[in-house]
Amino acid sequence: MLRINDEAPNFTAETSQGTINFHEWIGTGWAILFSHPKDFTPVCTTELGYMAGLQPEFEKRNCKIIGLSVDPVSSHSKWAVDIEETQGHKVNYPMIGDPQLKVAKLYDMLPAEAGETCEGRTAVNNATVRTVFVVGPDKKIKLMLSYPMSTGRNFDEVLRVVDSMQPAGGFRRRGQTDFSWRLESTPALSTDRSPADAGVRKEG
């Protein structure tokens, strides 16, 4: 079972942008890993398109984006064309192929007994593969958000959470952020973001 503050499990996987080692790919910044049960699922299509549009905002925060879907990379490439056509944003971030369910199991989104292939599996029996993980520069899990298949995930909220954890956001000025906190409501900070602001909070 994974919990907040656990190390995000490392893995090597094929993606739509080549093979990656997850921790090396994250590098020194932040990362969002968000998962999907199957390619061409309608709600997920909207989520991937919206994230493609939001990518510049995450980049400003030194935060990379990576998607995962329980299908091979060859299928992801076709889905990316569909996403651009229907959602109006080109997917420029990598999409992990997980046809053997390895990453889905590693991140506890599918049980060990789910088998070792996506063949014959449906979006419905993979429906638990709908989690957003925010990973910090220390490679620790900062947030986990699992959604039902009926409901699109709110990535503006994920952006808000990243803001709250970065030194330019909640931590530096306020220590903790309440339910209504937004970076925009802290005027002195909204214009002075620098790459250093996107680093990790120093304890003590």
CB of 86 to ligand BEZ, least distance (A): 13
Q: How far is the CB of 44 from ligand BEZ (least distance, A)?
A: 4
Closest among 134, 143, 179, 178 to 32, alpha carbons compared: 134
Compare residues 123 and 134 and give the one whose CB is closer to ligand BEZ.
Answer: 123
User: 93: which 2 tokens?
Assistant: 């971030």
Nearer to ligand BEZ, 42 or 53 (CB): 42
What is the closest distance, in whole angstroms, from the C-beta atom of residue 90 to ligand BEZ in the complex?
20
Identify which of residues 53 and 195 has a Cβ nearer to ligand BEZ in the complex. 53
User: Which residue in 26, 32, 44, 129 is the catalytic one?
Assistant: 44
Please report how close the Cβ of residue 11 comes to ligand BEZ at its closest, in angstroms. 22
| Distance from C-alpha of 149 to C-alpha of 152, rounded to nearest angstrom | 8
Query: Is residue 63 among the annotated active site residues?
Result: no
Q: What are phi and psi of 203, to 5 degrees?
A: -75, 150
137: left (phi over 0), alpha (psi -120 to 50) or beta: alpha
- Phi, psi at 143, each rounded to 5°: -155, 145
**Residue whose C-alpha is closest to residue 65's, from 98, 108, 20:** 20
Q: What is the C-alpha to C-alpha distance for residues 55 and 92, in angstroms, rounded to an integer? A: 8
Cα gap 60→57, rounded to integer Å: 5
The footprint of ligand BEZ (CB under 6 A) covers 37, 41-44, 123-124, 127, 149
Query: Looking at beta carbons only, is 40 or 171 nearer to ligand BEZ?
Result: 40
- β strands within 45-169, DSSP E: 63-69, 95-97, 131-135, 141-146
In the bound state with ligand BEZ, the residue whose beta carbon lies nearer, of 34 and 133, is 34
Give me the half-sphere count of Cα atoms (radius 13 Å) on the Cβ side of residue 156: 4
Give least dist CB 18 to ligand BEZ, A: 26
Positions marked active-site: 44
